[in-house]
Amino acid sequence: MAWFKRKERKFKDPQKKTIPDGLWGKCPSCSEIIYKPELEKNLSVCHHCNHHFRVTPELYVNLLLDEKSKKKYFSNISSIDFLNFKAKKSYKDQIVDNKKKTNQSDAIQVFEGLINTHEVILGIMDFQFIAGSMGSVVGEIVSRSIVLAGKKNRPFILICSSGGARMQEGAISLMQLAKTSTQLAKFSKEGGLFIPILTDPTTGGVTASFGMLGDLILAEPGALIGFAGPRVIKQTIGQDLPKGFQRSEFLLQKGFIDHIVDRKNMKEKITTIISLLK
């Protein structure tokens, strides 16, 4: 038999202050608690450790293009589920859901605009749309952007962010590697300037094609860049991987990329490169 009993299960403190949801976050790199509005003001880069958070294409549009100079291209091309692919979810439903979520037709947006008065074609991949995967539509849009840049005699800047080829479209996705690479070879032969900017993460088929085919290859700090993931490589070679493996800094050291550029310096860096190379 109990000697005493609590009348109410919960103790309520009317003075207790609640923190509004969504205002605070934790940096995955340095574990500091971050006030989100401050983080956004700083282009979603951690004040403490310079960790570059993943951001939406809108941020890059506003960051890079001169005000009111933008014209959008190819936003009417959309994927279809030609293989009737079904995993956890059907690809058909995935397309519908991701269109709704991002308000875009696929994982890339392309603009014509000015970067410090230099005319450019700017493509931005969107990791939010089925992990920025490259299927027939992304490949086609990259391909058309290269042709457009060639026709208009403008540099083509492409902000990459991708989990790789889109498995829901099978071999057709893999063909995009050849298609975009062929267009780039032609563009380069005709004197075109192509600058990919690799952001976190750029992997699989994008690294294996246009991501690594730039005249100059830039990357944001700390971005994961690779073909296969570290776990697969470790299993294959049966060895531990070096520290920082597949991050921008490691790739710069090994000569795979040319520059690491902080988000806040990106516009100036591109401007300098275009001024020097155009």
Interaction between residue 30 and Zn ion (CB under 5 A)? yes
Q: How far is the CB of 123 from Zn ion (least distance, A)?
A: 29
CB of 26 to Zn ion, least distance (A): 9
Binding segment for Zn ion (CB under 5 A), chosen from 2-10, 22-30, 53-61, 190-198, is 22-30
Work out which of 43, 45, 49, 174 binds Zn ion, going by CB under 5 A: 49
- Residue closer to Zn ion (CB basis): 49 or 216: 49
51 is a site residue for Zn ion (CB under 5 A): yes
Give the chain's count of helices (H) and strands (E). 9, 9
Taking alpha carbons only, the member of 172, 171, 173, 179 closest to residue 131 is 173
Is cis: bond before 221, omega within 30 of 0? no
Q: Which is nearer to Zn ion, 47 or 267 (CB)?
A: 47
**Site stretch for Zn ion (CB under 5 A), options 1-9, 19-27, 179-187, 220-228:** 19-27
Strand pairing partners for 224? Answer: 247
30/185 with CB nearer Zn ion: 30
**Complex with Zn ion: residue 43 or 49, whichever CB lies closer:** 49
Alpha-carbon span 161 to 153, nearest angstrom: 25
Among the residue ranges 10-18, 47-55, 105-113, 169-177, the one whose residues contact Zn ion (CB under 5 A): 47-55
Residue 160 CB, nearest distance to Zn ion (Å)? Answer: 23
Residue 231 host element (H or E): helix 230-237
Contact call for residue 263 and Zn ion (CB under 5 A): no
* Closest separation in Å from C-beta 28 to Zn ion: 8
Q: Tell me how far apart the alpha carbons of residues 159 and 125 are, in angstroms, rounded to a whole number.
A: 6
63 touches Zn ion by CB under 5 A: no
Cβ contacts of residue 178 below 8 Å, gap of 6+? 209
Cα distance from N-terminal residue to C-terminal residue, the chain: 88
| Amino acid symbol at 37 | P
Our finding on whether 48 is near Zn ion (CB under 5 A) is yes
Of 154 and 247, CB closest to Zn ion: 247
Q: Per residue in 39-74, is it b (16+ CB within 10 Å) or e — as a string?
A: beeebbbbeeebbbbebebebbbeebbeeeeeeebb
By CB under 5 A, is residue 65 in contact with Zn ion? no
Stretch that binds Zn ion, among 27-35, 67-75, 95-103, 171-179 (CB under 5 A): 27-35
Q: Give whichever of 51 and 263 is closer to Zn ion, judged by the CB atom.
A: 51
Q: Which of residues 154-183 bind Zn ion (CB under 5 A)?
A: none
Q: Report yes or no: 206 and 217 within 8 Å, Cβ to Cβ.
A: no
SS3 258: coil
Report the interface residues with Zn ion, using CB under 5 A. 27, 29-30, 46, 48-49, 51
